[in-house]
Amino acid sequence: MILSELVNFRNELFKYSLSGIKENTDREVEKIAHLVQTQPFVSAELINDLEEKHKNVQETFDKFESSLNVTKNYVQNLIKNIEPKWFEESSQRYKNQFDQRIQKIHNDGITYYDDYGVLRRGQDPIKLQAKNDFVNQILNKSITLPDEIKQIIRSRILKYADWHYTGMIIGPGTESFINDMVANDPLYLIDEYVELLYPAMSKFNESYQQRLRTYAINECSNDNMLEKLPNNQFAICMAYNYFDHRPIHIIEQYVKELFKKLCSGGVLAMTFNDCDRSSGVVLAENFNSFYTPGNLIVDLAKNIGYQEIFRINDDGPTTWIELKKPGNLSSVRGGQSLAKIYHK
């Protein structure tokens, strides 16, 4: 059974509801019954027969809707029974990728053997090249959203672009969203390797680059990935095209830790591969992403304490969602040194 086809069938099935049809039908039948009942030449027998058939119509609608709901539940249960396999596949595939990366890229930076078998000190050039290849591979990953949705996302981000508030971007990559957040002071840039931050940083002059706060994180640790970051400080954390390439258990860990980092009223705004839609499941089935159903992400976020305040998507696999930590944004800052950020 192909999961993407099952999800597509589920979504098509849930588009249908008989409530509106039943109400319209009842209204039309009532009109007919009233018309017949007001005619003096229509016998009571015919009127009673119409009333009885009206009841039968209502009962038939109720029975059909009940059967439809049973079918919906059946399909939902089919998906739930298949999901554990895909969660496990995503988790194992991510672990394998991470292990391969550790083996190929990480180096103690002290000794290595060259092509002639000579033990040398310094960074292994083979692993250095592997690391550069990995960085380029990550930076070339992209998601496709219509320009109008990107513009909506940009307008949402600008609501929090204020020097009163601290901002964070996880995986800034080559996107231009950092330009909308330069007002945040300070602005933190986070990714697995500092090399992944260079394209975003290089858009600005050296003076502003020195003001940016950059951190490399280690996702192999089961918790405290963000332990170096201050708690209760960030008004906005944006992760565009980052969690789209992470399995559900890694996303959950980030969401948990970021809740501690956000200040009251702070917002985690992110994209992810929404496997509540068949197009998202297809990406997971083709090993181009991981199985991450949107309903599960929302549920785990609510269990942590977030409030969903905004969501948008198109017909594709990507969903943008904003999760708010309860409370109201406030700042004790009374002023800021006047300066203007110039791009290179």
Q: Which two tokens stand for residue 264?
A: 């009251």
Q: Which two tokens stand for residue 118?
A: 């000579």
Is the pLDDT at 254 greater than 50, yes or no?
yes
For the domain covering 147-324, report its CATH number: 3.40.50.150
Is the pLDDT at 270 greater than 90, yes or no?
yes
Helix axis angle for 44-105 and 3-13, nearest 10°, is 150
Is the pLDDT at 344 greater than 70, yes or no?
no
- Tens of pLDDT, residue by residue over 189-226, are 999 888 899 999 998 988 899 899 999 888 876 678 99
pLDDT at site 190: 95
Pairing verdict, β 234-239 and 213-216: unpaired
Alpha-carbon Rg for the chain, nearest whole angstrom, is 28
pLDDT confidence band for 335 (50 / 70 / 90): low
pLDDT at site 39: 82
Q: Which two tokens stand for residue 110?
A: 């002290």
- Alpha-helical segments (H) within the chain: 3-13, 19-37, 44-105, 125-139, 147-158, 198-201, 206-211, 248-261, 278-285, 294-304
- Give the span between the Cα atoms of 214 and 21, in whole angstroms: 57
- Give the span between the Cα atoms of 204 and 190, in whole angstroms: 17
Which long-range contacts link 15-19 to residues 24+ away (Cβ below 8 Å)? 16/68, 17/65, 18/61, 18/64, 18/65, 18/68, 19/65
pLDDT at site 107: 55
Higher pLDDT, 51 or 309: 309
For 44-48, 64-68, 71-75, 227-231, which range has the lowest pLDDT when averaged over its residues?
44-48
- Give the span between the Cα atoms of 160 and 172, in whole angstroms: 17
pLDDT at site 119: 47
- Tens of pLDDT, residue by residue over 99-128, are 877 766 665 555 544 455 544 455 566 667
**Separation in Å, CA 39 to CA 33, 35, 46, 52:** 10, 7, 11, 18
Is the pLDDT at 230 greater than 90, yes or no?
yes
- Give the span between the Cα atoms of 3 and 78, in whole angstroms: 9
Is the pLDDT at 340 greater than 60, yes or no?
no
pLDDT at site 287: 94
**Separation in Å, CA 8 to CA 63, 169, 276:** 25, 33, 9
Pairing verdict, β 119-121 and 111-113: antiparallel
How large is the average pLDDT for residues 263-292?
Answer: 96
